[in-house]
Amino acid sequence: MAPREFDLATIVRDAGSEFLKTRSTTPYQRKALRAIEQCRTPALGGQFARCDRCGEQHLLFRSCGSRSCPRCQASARHDWLAARLKDLLPVPYFHVVFTVPEQLNVLALYCPEAFYGALLGAAGQALLDVGQTKLHAELGALTVLHTWGQNLSLHPHVHCVVPGGGFRGDRKAWVSVEKPTFFLPVKVLSRRFRTLLRLRLLKAFRAGKLARLPRAVAWDQPSFELLLARAGHTDWVVYSKPPFAGPQQVLEYLAAYTHRLAISNRRLVGFDGKTVAFRWKDYRDENRPKILELDVLEFLRRFTLHILPPRLVRIRYFGFLANRNRVKNIELARTLIGGEPIELRSPRERPSVPCPACAEGTLIIGPFWLPQLLPTPARDPPALEEAS
């Protein structure tokens, strides 16, 4: 494959029109592709910026701000991580992942709002229920929805960061896990999660929230119950281990995906106009780096699988970490736990735009210019580096 300077926006500009003509897409998927296509171009206007070191002036085009764009949301991601690091408690933390069998992927394709909402709710509630049963404590959980695998296939799962303990029923004592290496039994979590998700999906079907399902999948309630029963005969994998490098490492890992979708530009390694090549990791053989090549239309099809409806919230909080009383609950937990505060590594600085001329200064952003008023730049505008 011939080397070529490109990113996801280049791929969308080259093949997006053909993809939209030959593939069925939703309005929000088309809107996201248009945003990615226009990102950092004169179509969105721009701003003059001056280097605080060498004084040279540059023209920067505006970003699209779409949560599906790999070049946007770096500042939002940084702010989210900084806020969550402040919430950490001096207790062991556990990383829990809930997955569903592939028989239910059809629900994600046709009814993403209802399915992903039920998925997140079932994962969070399963943690709270098993915590009450096994620890006799009110737990707290941060949950993040992921819909993709490393090869961009549809793979819905929920990552959870859970403190190792919770409030006793009267909220006058903190109940800790007995062993810092063991949280909750994964088989019990798996079964409770399966039960809760099936109940939520059945309730959604009765309420008409799954009406977009094709008749070949479920034409009435008995056929839908049969689909759930078939899915129930397979293992619903739940992963639960303490993070090897502490809770901050898990939060930093999740932050790379909370405000980004499916694939980053750094994983793209080749594009010749017809085929896209990107790096991926096969978790069955992590020591062998792999390059996957896909037809550009197939690549875009897989990418659009993960563009979510605009009102779907991918990050949700449960138990004593729920948004309503999170600040008060964290203060109470720190009082009950006592001990030394948790030591954190300094987070990365908020993303800034380096000067393309001297490479040492930072660009100071000036007034915004509408697209029709933008002057023609003397040189190509600098590319904004993607925050890691």
- Between CA 282 and CA 266 the distance in angstroms is 17
Query: Angle CA(281)–CA(287)–CA(291) in degrees, nearest 5?
Result: 40
pLDDT at position 371 over 70: no
pLDDT at position 179 over 90: no
Q: What is the mean pLDDT of the chain?
A: 86
pLDDT in tens, 250-269: 788 778 778 778 888 889 99
Residue 75 burial class via C-beta count within 10 angstroms: exposed 0-12, middle 13-18, buried 19 and up: middle
Q: 110, 129, 107: which is closest to 119 by C-alpha?
A: 107
Q: Is 235 or 196 the better-scoring residue by pLDDT?
A: 196
Which two tokens mark 22? 């030959």
pLDDT of residue 316: 96
pLDDT at position 1 over 60: no
Is residue 180 within 8 A of residue 105, CB to CB? The reply is: no
Looking at residue 317, its amino acid is: Y
pLDDT in tens, 189-209: 999 999 999 999 999 999 999
pLDDT of residue 71: 86
- Between CA 333 and CA 258 the distance in angstroms is 26
pLDDT of residue 379: 46
Residues in the chain: 388
- Between CA 71 and CA 79 the distance in angstroms is 16
pLDDT of residue 224: 94
pLDDT of residue 350: 58
The SS3 call for residue 284 is coil
pLDDT at position 2 over 80: no
Q: Is 213 or 234 the better-scoring residue by pLDDT?
A: 213
pTM for the whole structure: 0.87
The SS3 call for residue 362 is strand
Give every CB contact of residue 27 below 8 A, 6+ residues apart in sequence.
none
Query: Angle CA(374)–CA(69)–CA(384) in degrees, nearest 5?
Result: 50
